[in-house]
Amino acid sequence: MHIVESHWRFFSHILRRYIDIPANKAMQAYFEQMACRYRGRPTTTLPVIINKELSQAYTDMKLTTSNDLQTMRQIDSTSTRPEQVENVYTEDRGVC
């Protein structure tokens, strides 16, 4: 479960940073390119892994579009503590 926690910690860290850093630009570009699907093996990227973990924990949350990414940014920016997005997955799943 340490790997799952590190995914969420890194994702939350990216969300808290400025929009114009390379990590946020790459995340935004990833979702803009999602419209054209490729044949073959699915890519294993952080957004894909986070979306899979969200779908396991919650049926109503997803991370498949830039709107979903913006929603996650809003959750992170309005949180009273920086770990809220990290804990979205780990607390409800009983991960220590």
The domain locations on the chain are 2-90
Please report the pLDDT score of residue 37 as a whole number: 67
Contact between 9 and 86 (Cβ < 8 Å): yes
pLDDT of the chain along its 96 residues, tens only? 677 788 888 888 888 888 899 988 888 888 887 666 677 887 778 888 888 888 887 777 788 888 888 888 887 777 655 455 555 555 554 544
Structure tokens at 29: 């570009």
Closest CA to 46 of 19, 75, 15: 15
Please report the pLDDT score of residue 40 as a whole number: 81
Total-model pTM: 0.66
Whole-angstrom Cα distance, residue 21 to residue 27? 10
The owner of tokens 């990216």 is 14
